[in-house]
Amino acid sequence: MIGVVAKDTDHPVVTEFFQLFKTHWEFWLPERTYEVLLCCETVIPDNQASLVVAYTSEPAVDFGSVVSSSSDPPTLLVFPTGERLPVYGNCLTFGEGSGSFAPFDERTKRPVAIELGSGSRKTIRVGYDLCGEIRSLLTEGQPLANATSPSVELHISFLRSLIVRHGSILVEIPPAPGGYPFIACLTHDVDHIRIRPHKLDHTMFGFLYRATLGSFLSFVRGRQSVKVLATNVRAACSLPFVYLGLAKDFWDQAANYLALEKGVTSTFFVIPTKGEPGVSPNGEKKKLRATRYDVGDIGSDIRMLLAAGREVGLHGIDAWRDSKIGRDERERIEEATGSKEIGVRMHWLFFGKESPKMIEQAGFAYDSTVGYNERVGYRAGTSQVFGFLEVDHLLELPMHIMDTALFYPSYMDLTEREARLAILPLVENAERFGGVVTVNWHDRSIGPERLWRSSYKDLLATLRAKGAWFGTAAETVSWFRKRRSSHIESVICEGGTVRVKVSVGADSKGLPGLRVRIHNAPVQGVRTGVAVFTDFPVEHSEEVLLAA
């Protein structure tokens, strides 16, 4: 078991960290003996642990004869594997004796961890505040410059490697469903269900420009094919007939999404009230944010989606800032869907410091707003569903890949080939760390004038080929709730035998099971760079026995 020493104010952070790093731990009790002591304080208490891992950026801590110096934040750490981890708080670096395991400060080339002691008792000093880093990631998030860093997973991976490298048997419940490497969650923000309601407004004129002159300029620059150009011009020419009801509305893409996603599932976030722009973070009401449809206009679409096994959630307007308005918005979706478990993603990804509290008070099952408008990546530094520190039960399904971030000229402005290359590292990280890849492909993005259909098909093919489990947003959150409510009750090692008692949370019908992973197991398992681990599927509370 890992005993954890931390300040009282850091206890919520520690608790959430070990929901993400699901292993056998407890807050340190002086009368108990631990194999590993994780110290997030400046003073290490007397203990009998064979391994002490002490995280602190305080230079006043006694490091013996070891020379240390501070590095101004932010610091970019480089691991021996070449991975890079941003550290946003103060960071200490050390002199000689660190060993090859330690990451180093990219600027100074000095290591940020050092191993002290000898024989069976070791202390590893790490020169940053782990609790402060996790708090910052889950509450403030990462700047765009570090969007591609799965920082929380790298912190977990580093701590895990220190424990496993020491030779300790480590047991965890990894964030990957039994039988699958990771979860894929497909979502669609429904901003414009059809073009027909848009007559002589900015949306119509914007479409005409992008479908004609804009598409022609993209073709000239080699960024669009002649087929795409022709498709867009035909759509623009058909617009009068769409208004007259004589031609199909080319932004009506719900049925096409169902066809593309045959065999998997997805979530559609819909607008509660048309004509309402809501209030922006700076207090303005931007008319461009208001939509020309709401949930009351698309009853037949919602029935079609629900009949196909899709989830319908709220694309919130003001729920991010006002719990009363949030309840009203939620109730409109409840009435339309008949569901009492409604999730939310905010229109334009509006979110503030008080948003988790407002959303929880409004009675939502989960939120899925935390992500970037401008980039793909990890705004909260994680691929896992996580809990906000300041609320009781609301969980966040972070968003990782959004079509507009990839292709908008004012954002990443990528070609289809460049977009594939940008997406691939996120999928590879999910294969390695587990968790979920959350995709947001807007409702009209596979129709004219965007025509990002082939990129979406390519992404689906990649996720299928990797063997991901596809869940709706609600199913994905439910699976993580099941994992969060499970825990490792005991780990008993006797000679060549390891007994692990696992308590599995209440099962949800249709969800895949969990797995137990044992590192440094006494029998051959899957070899990684530093150790061997063995996985066991776990469907219910039971004792896992591993014998040499």
**CA gap 102, 94 in Å, rounded:** 10
Taking residues 440-464, what's their average pLDDT? Answer: 97
Q: CB neighbours of 480 closer than 8 A, spacing ≥ 6? A: 175, 384, 385, 395, 436
**CA gap 155, 159 in Å, rounded:** 6
- Among 196, 231, 219, 204, CA closest to 451: 231
Pick the CATH number of 183-194+252-479 from 3.40.1280.10, 3.100.10.20, 3.30.360.10, 3.20.20.370: 3.20.20.370
Label residue 284 by pLDDT band (50, 70, 90): very high
Domain spans of the chain? 2-172, 183-194+252-479, 195-250, 486-547
CATH code of the region 2-172: 3.40.50.880
Q: Distance of alpha carbon 395 from its chain centroid, rounded?
A: 11
392-436 residue pLDDT tens: 999 999 999 999 999 999 999 999 999 999 999 999 999 999 999
302-325 residue pLDDT tens: 999 999 999 999 999 999 999 999
Half-sphere exposure (CA, 13 Å, Cβ side) for 409? 7
* Contact yes or no for 26/3 (Cβ under 8 A): yes
* Contact yes or no for 431/182 (Cβ under 8 A): yes
**CA gap 444, 448 in Å, rounded:** 8
Length reported for the chain: 548
pLDDT at 70: 80
Q: Are domains 2-172 and 183-194+252-479 of this chain identical in fold? A: no
**CA gap 89, 298 in Å, rounded:** 48
* Contact yes or no for 98/118 (Cβ under 8 A): no
pLDDT at 520: 81
User: Looking at residue 468, what DSSP letter applies?
Assistant: P
How crowded is residue 313: how many other Cβ atoms within 10 Å of its Cβ? 29
Q: CB neighbours of 123 closer than 8 A, spacing ≥ 6? A: 44, 51, 52, 53, 54, 115, 116, 117
83-141 residue pLDDT tens: 999 999 999 998 765 667 889 999 988 999 998 877 678 999 999 999 999 999 999 99
* Mean of pLDDT over the chain: 92
pLDDT at 345: 98
pLDDT at 540: 84
**CA gap 546, 377 in Å, rounded:** 38
pLDDT at 249: 97
- Among 206, 273, 200, CA closest to 243: 200
